[in-house]
Structure 1
Amino acid sequence: MPELPELPADVSDLAALDLHAAQVQDWSIAGDSFSWTLLAGDTDRGHELATLTYVGAVVLHTNRRDLDRAVAAAAEVERSEVVPTEDGGFEHHVTLVPAYPLVIRFWSVEVRRMPAPDHLRRVR
């Protein structure tokens, strides 16, 4: 198995986030960037809002209507993986529950995290 190149600090921050069961709170597209906010954590560890802004972003396998539905349904992250691409960029592969895969292709990412109250978690 080939060794993966060392990830830049911003991509490393994204890969280190535990997004399992994180709920989609909102999203936006502006120019070449895609942002979304996910409510991560649980009542034992505490919750946090993670706002991820991908620069040079292309969002694949989804559209605006599907993203709006993910927010309305309090869709949760089932799987999250960051992989490098052959051209030097990266892809964030995310599967939302119910089975709803999307891929965000990007060059860099900004990860902002802040503590959040437990009551923000919505019942699905």
Structure 2
Amino acid sequence: MTATPPDLPVDVLALAAVDLRGAQVQDWSQERDAFSWTLLAGDADRGHELVAITYVGAVVLHVNRRELDAAVRDAAEVAQSQVVPAAQGGYEHHVTLRAAYRLVVRFWSVDLRRMPAPDHLRRHP
């Protein structure tokens, strides 16, 4: 994760503060103007947590449904994650997955839920 502008709203700052490096994609869904996905973050030393992210007013760029399904199937891991203001208003979450998927979620607000998770949820591709 790189430096985040300090003038972001609280919900966007909370997203930017989550260390998603190495997090595995567990599932995803898209309904009307919301995109949601759940990532398994953490490691055996720090413990694991499920991070459920729902972007409101969302548009997902650079990937399609087939690629998102493959990311779940392959337990794709996050290589990079950065939240930035979008040039045309709103925000963008830039995510690069190790399986060579790069996506950008453009959104207006975000809901973030975090919950402890057992280590056995971590899948080894």
Give a deviation string over 1:67-115, Cα, whole Å, max 9, x none: 0000000000000000101233000000001221100000000000000
CA distance in 2, matches of 1:88, 1:10: 16
Code of the residue aligned with 1:72 in structure 2: it is R
Q: Secondary structure at the match of 2:78?
A: strand
Q: Which range is displaced more, 52-61 or 79-88?
A: 79-88
Give a deviation string over 1:9-39, Cα, whole Å, max 9, x none: 0000000000000000000001100000000
Alignment of 1:1-124 (within 5 A): 4=5, 6-124=7-125
**Unpaired segments ≥5 residues, structure 2:** none
Per-residue deviation at 1:5?
5.5
Pairwise CA RMSD of aligned residues? 1.2
The percentage of aligned residue pairs carrying the same residue is: 70
| TM-score (normalised: structure 1) | 0.95
CA distance in 1, matches of 2:87, 2:66: 30
CA distance in 2, matches of 1:98, 1:69: 9
**Unpaired segments ≥5 residues, structure 1:** none
Code of the residue aligned with 1:91 in structure 2: it is E
| TM-score (normalised: structure 2) | 0.94
Q: Secondary structure at the match of 1:92?
A: strand
Code of the residue aligned with 2:77 in structure 1: it is E
